[in-house]
Amino acid sequence: MRKTREILRLKYAEGLSHRAIARACQAGLGTINDYISRAQRASIAWPLPEGWSDSDVDAALFPKASTDGPRNGALPDWAALRVALRRKGVTRFLLWEEYHRQHPDGYSYSHFCDLFREYCQISDPRMHQVHKAGEKLFVDYAGQSLPVIDCATGEVVQVQIFVAAWGASDYTYAEATWSQTQPDWTGSHVRAFEFFGGCPQILVPDNITTGVKTPCRYEPIMTRSYAEMASYYGVVIIPARVKKPRDKAIVEKHVQMVEQRILAALRDRTFVGLNECNQAIWELLEDLNNRPFQKMPGSRRQIFAELDAPAMLPLPLERYEYAEWTKARLGFNYHLCADHSNYSAPYALIHKELQVRLSQKVVEIFHGSERVASHLRSYIAGHYETEPSHMPSNHREYAEWNPDRIVRWAGSTGPNTAKAVHLILNRHVHPEQAFKSCMGVISLGKKYGPDRLESACARAVSFGCPTYRSLKSILQTKLDTAKLPTDEQDRQIPDHSNIRGAGYYQQALALYDIER
């Protein structure tokens, strides 16, 4: 604060020399000369006018240059210039040149920049945000990456760096992930909660597509997997506004800090595997959180233990299991395809679009908000998981037939029927190939009765030809009522003039050899 009033009193009331005034006020002689000269030019004497404050005296001695406008009255449109400055390649000097061509007597470049800076500060003031303990956790990805060798392929991959920081204590977590996809994004949150030992009340992410499905200033829509994870931990998600980095200034500052103090220190290293990379990051992160503040007592870890840790939400007993949501339409065979495997749902929903939730172990199928099916997850491409209750009754009855059941049914009809069915099943490499033939035999029993079918099977087995067609022919021609041959003699072909016999062919073969 200037000692203007005291200098004027000593000069005009006490009549001291300028050197004496300089010694009394502990000021330079040049300063005293300047103040007295300004007072003379402003016609200020002692005593000062009644009611003048120190500010009034300073304003009279040091009048500010008029900022109402340049000499020709051409005041720039600061709002339009501010919008134009956001365009790529546009600089303040370019805007001033365009302004100066139109108004040669206008502001100089330095005065132009001072006034423009003052306008920006007034029109866009920055609010100081006060963060409550345990309330907000800010999350984002760093712009830089690190090279890591993928052990599976041997390729060098630029991994992504996830950063989370508390609003109240600045306590920070960082880790490397292969990508910014939904599983990595969600998994980083889970590991961050476990690192902190608790959860915040509010998550503040950027409008990353893996977290925010539809950005909106008033009602943003989260991706279903991200919202499900937050609901599991009892956390509310409030994304930052689009193109408003000040909404998450905390994490922006800590992203820069992680880049400068961790990633820069690891810039010349190439890691083998993600674990090695994260171990190096966490060692430097420990130092970052334990480093004392420069302008206040304590460290991030200490403030976190005092503020955020007691106010955090507790972790659930079980760790969150990531699940992915997708949509699929139920096919005509009452199965839908999810992750290259097929799962059944009630046949009444054929051609309906269903929601599918795929966790590591279970696949759940939803119609609207109702869960209509649940299966163990299969990782075999093309595999079918079928629940019998999802099938129509006729399909279910057919599916329930198997070799054991068919043989049991045949045994209930009679031993010959069981033997005939057994021979039919064994005639094929795969028993399923004979199912239709066996179902045909069953239909014959329903049509002709079990007694006649048993007799027909006995005849077919005796001749070694039990097939559906032979049994059907026997029943249609009523051969099942004829007497079966009892010995080998009965099965011989009877003599007849039209039957030549084996001797005829032997004699013909001998004559053929003689002629040759």
What is the maximum alpha-carbon separation in the chain? 170
Residue 56 lies inside a defined structural domain of this protein: yes
**405 to each of 411, 421, 444, how far by Cα in Å?**
10, 11, 17
> Are 220 and 288 part of one and the same domain?
yes
> Are 339 and 377 part of one and the same domain?
yes
> Are 118 and 140 part of one and the same domain?
no
pLDDT for 378 equals 87
Residue 160 lies inside a defined structural domain of this protein: yes
pLDDT for 447 equals 87
pLDDT for 189 equals 94
Residue 439 lies inside a defined structural domain of this protein: yes
> Are 161 and 274 part of one and the same domain?
yes
The CATH number for 184's domain is: 3.30.420.10
Count of domains observed in the chain: 5
> Are 156 and 279 part of one and the same domain?
yes
Residue 174 to residue 162: CA distance in whole angstroms: 5
Residue 190 to residue 183: CA distance in whole angstroms: 11
pLDDT for 128 equals 47
Domain interval for residue 147: 136-311
> Are 307 and 274 part of one and the same domain?
yes
Residue 173: closest CA among 148, 185, 158, 191: 191
Whether the bond between 392 and the residue before it is cis, its omega within 30 degrees of 0, is no
Residue 392 lies inside a defined structural domain of this protein: no
Enumerate residue ranges in the chain where pLDDT < 50.
1, 67-68, 126-128, 489
Which DSSP state fits 317? S
Residue 289 to residue 286: CA distance in whole angstroms: 5
Residue 505 to residue 508: CA distance in whole angstroms: 5
Percent of the chain with pLDDT over 90: 16
> Are 273 and 346 part of one and the same domain?
no
- The answer to whether the Cα torsion of 120, 121, 126, 127 is positive or negative is negative
> Are 357 and 417 part of one and the same domain?
no
The terminus-to-terminus CA distance of the chain in angstroms comes to: 144
pLDDT for 172 equals 92
pLDDT for 429 equals 63
pLDDT for 102 equals 87
Which residues, in sequence order, are bridge partners of residue 384? 342
User: CB atoms < 10 A from the CB of 279, how many?
Assistant: 11
What is the helix (H) or strand (E) element at residue 99, kind and residue range?
helix 92-102
pLDDT for 72 equals 52
Residue 281 lies inside a defined structural domain of this protein: yes
> Are 378 and 408 part of one and the same domain?
no
Residue 69 lies inside a defined structural domain of this protein: no
Stated pTM of the model: 0.55
| Extended strands (E) in 242-346 | 271-272, 324-329, 335-338, 341-344
Boundary (domain end) residue, out of 386, 411, 446? 386
pLDDT for 1 equals 42
Residue 509 lies inside a defined structural domain of this protein: no
Residue 86 lies inside a defined structural domain of this protein: yes
Tokens of 59: 């304003």
> Are 352 and 477 part of one and the same domain?
no
Tell me, what amino acid is at 488?
E
> Are 253 and 280 part of one and the same domain?
yes
Q: Which long-range contacts (CB under 8 A, 24 or more apart) does 118-126 make?
A: 119/78, 119/82, 120/82, 123/78, 123/79, 123/82, 126/246
> Are 245 and 304 part of one and the same domain?
yes
pLDDT in tens, 262-317: 888 888 888 999 999 999 999 999 998 998 887 677 888 988 888 888 989 999 99
Tokens of 161: 């760096």
Say if CB 337 and CB 257 are below 8 A apart.
no
